[in-house]
């Protein structure tokens, strides 16, 4: 007599190795997206704590986006540099020098000194394009200088860009005699600095276009692949046929161009160039890049992360001002956040190598 068949009671148990792998992936995902959660947490905190929820207003968000537009441009350039395992400390100085150079050209060709002092600009149609071109060329020139000094003299990027930071700030002082510029043509300010398209300020639109282009370049083009390869292994890239020095010069020229563009937007927004208003631009740009997930050790970078990270300093400053808190706390918190971001980057590297 045969025994009745017993039901299959076997259970599939998840292997301990699979559980560890799942846990590791979840932790890595949390580490990659922590900056987005941090930004949303800041928005929620300031929304709750500001009087009458003044922070959570459409007009305030538009103001934050406008203030962040220049940081985004500087951060994009800094992203490409840091992906190559370099650093650019001169971005704030290049912005100021470019704005000053472009502004002086605008004023010189807009009319006589008496006319521009009376806010009359009879030749603004010619002067503004010339000034914009000079500002962009000035940024490119400083970027080219950085790239050549780093590649030809084999000097560390930290030292070179620290030196050109002082040179560019000093050069701007020499051009203006240490004073701020007179107001540039008002139509330039109204159409670019304070102009809007579909409800968005023009500088914000320019910054977003730069983000899209930079994202495509970094992830989908040979230029982006070479940039990441050099940051991962410069010697290996050289042996595989990449002209490392030429590419590094291109990266620093690109950063200089974006600094010049940021200088144009700054000039358009404020009508002048404040020589003392950009002393921590390099900190904010580097913070945006590192906090956004780009590795200081090179080889890994994300433009979208930089975009998110760029909002951290401006959201902090905006919220502190509304809450009447000393805005210098912004620098303290941004510096602390950089330390946390670098720690998380090291932690991710250790986890991914295991």
- The proportion of the chain whose per-residue pLDDT surpasses 70, expressed as a percent, equals 88
Residues of the chain by 3-state class (helix, strand, coil), percent to 5: 75, 0, 25
How much is the average pLDDT of 249-277?
92
pLDDT at residue 10 is higher than 50: no
How much is the average pLDDT of 298-310?
90
Question: Which residue bears the tokens 């956040």?
Answer: 337
Handedness of CA 79, 80, 82, 86 (dihedral sign): negative
The whole-angstrom separation of Cα 61 and Cα 349 is: 35
Give pLDDT tens digits for 29-58: 555 567 788 889 989 989 999 888 889 998
- In angstroms, the Cα distances linking 90 to 12, 166, 259 are 59, 8, 9
How much is the average pLDDT of 274-287?
84
Closest CA to 140 of 101, 86, 183: 101
- In angstroms, the Cα distances linking 3 to 6, 8, 10, 85 are 9, 15, 19, 71
How much is the average pLDDT of 315-329?
84
Give pLDDT tens digits for 156-197: 999 999 999 999 999 999 998 878 787 889 898 889 988 889
- CB-based contact 296:82 (threshold 8 Å): yes
Tell me what pLDDT residue 6 has: 47
Tell me what pLDDT residue 342 has: 76
Closest CA to 240 of 255, 225, 250, 221: 225
- CB-based contact 297:250 (threshold 8 Å): no
- CB-based contact 172:96 (threshold 8 Å): yes
How much is the average pLDDT of 9-29?
52
Handedness of CA 99, 185, 201, 53 (dihedral sign): positive
Tell me what pLDDT residue 264 has: 95
Helix (H, G, I), strand (E, B) or coil at 197: strand
pLDDT at residue 353 is higher than 90: no
pLDDT at residue 152 is higher than 60: yes
The DSSP result for 235-285, as a single string, is HHHHHTT--HHHHHHHHHHHHHHHHHHHHHHHHHHHSS--TTS-TTHHHHH
Which domains are present in the chain? 36-347 (1.10.3470)
- The proportion of the chain whose per-residue pLDDT surpasses 90, expressed as a percent, equals 51
- CB-based contact 70:95 (threshold 8 Å): yes
- pLDDT band at residue 153 under the 50/70/90 scheme: very high
pLDDT at residue 12 is higher than 80: no
Give pLDDT tens digits for 77-102: 999 999 999 999 999 999 999 999 99
Closest CA to 244 of 165, 137, 154, 142: 154
- CB-based contact 77:262 (threshold 8 Å): no
Tell me what pLDDT residue 115 has: 84
Tell me what pLDDT residue 193 has: 87
Give the global pTM: 0.87
Handedness of CA 264, 330, 254, 98 (dihedral sign): positive
How much is the average pLDDT of 225-232?
94
Burial of 130 (0-12, 13-18, 19+ CB in 10 A): middle
- CB-based contact 211:303 (threshold 8 Å): yes
Contacts of 295 (CB under 8 A, 6+ apart): 82, 83, 301, 345, 349
Closest CA to 312 of 289, 294, 328: 289
- CB-based contact 107:181 (threshold 8 Å): yes
Closest CA to 320 of 25, 45, 70: 45
| Average pLDDT taken over every residue of the chain | 86
- CB-based contact 139:261 (threshold 8 Å): yes
pLDDT at residue 339 is higher than 70: yes
- pLDDT band at residue 151 under the 50/70/90 scheme: very high
């Amino acid at each position: 007599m045969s025994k009745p068949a017993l039901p299959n009671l076997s259970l599939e148990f998840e292997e301990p190795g699979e559980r560890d792998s799942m846990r590791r992936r979840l932790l890595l995902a949390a580490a990659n997206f922590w900056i987005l959660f941090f930004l949303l947490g800041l928005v929620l905190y300031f929304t709750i704590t500001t009087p009458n929820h003044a922070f959570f207003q459409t007009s305030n968000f538009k103001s934050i986006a406008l203030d962040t537009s220049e940081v985004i441009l500087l951060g994009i350039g800094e992203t490409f540099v840091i992906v190559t395992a370099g650093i650019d400390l001169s971005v704030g100085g290049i912005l100021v020098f470019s704005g000053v150079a472009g502004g002086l050209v605008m004023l010189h060709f807009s009319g006589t000194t008496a006319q521009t002092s009376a806010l009359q600009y009879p030749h603004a149609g010619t002067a503004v394009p010339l000034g914009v071109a000079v500002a962009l060329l000035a940024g490119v020139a400083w970027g080219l200088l950085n790239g050549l000094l780093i590649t030809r003299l084999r000097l560390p990027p930290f030292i070179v860009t620290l030196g050109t930071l002082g040179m560019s700030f000093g050069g701007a002082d020499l051009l203006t005699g240490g004073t701020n510029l007179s107001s540039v043509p008002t139509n330039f300010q109204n159409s670019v600095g304070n102009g809007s398209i579909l409800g968005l300020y023009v500088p914000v639109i320019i910054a977003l276009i730069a983000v899209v282009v930079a994202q495509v370049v970094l992830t989908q083009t040979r230029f982006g692949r070479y940039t990441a390869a050099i940051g991962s292994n410069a010697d290996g890239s050289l042996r595989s046929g990449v002209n490392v020095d030429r590419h590094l010069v291109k990266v620093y020229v690109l950063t200089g161009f974006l600094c010049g563009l940021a200088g144009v937007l700054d000039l358009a927004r404020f009508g002048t160039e404040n020589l003392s208003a950009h002393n921590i631009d390099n900190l904010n740009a580097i913070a945006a890049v590192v906090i956004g997930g780009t590795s200081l050790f090179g080889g890994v970078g994300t433009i979208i992360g930089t975009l998110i990270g760029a909002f951290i300093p401006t959201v902090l400053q905006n919220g502190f001002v509304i809450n009447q808190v000393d805005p210098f706390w912004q620098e303290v918190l941004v510096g602390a956040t950089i330390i946390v971001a670098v720690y998380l980057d090291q932690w991710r590297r250790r986890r991914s190598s295991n």
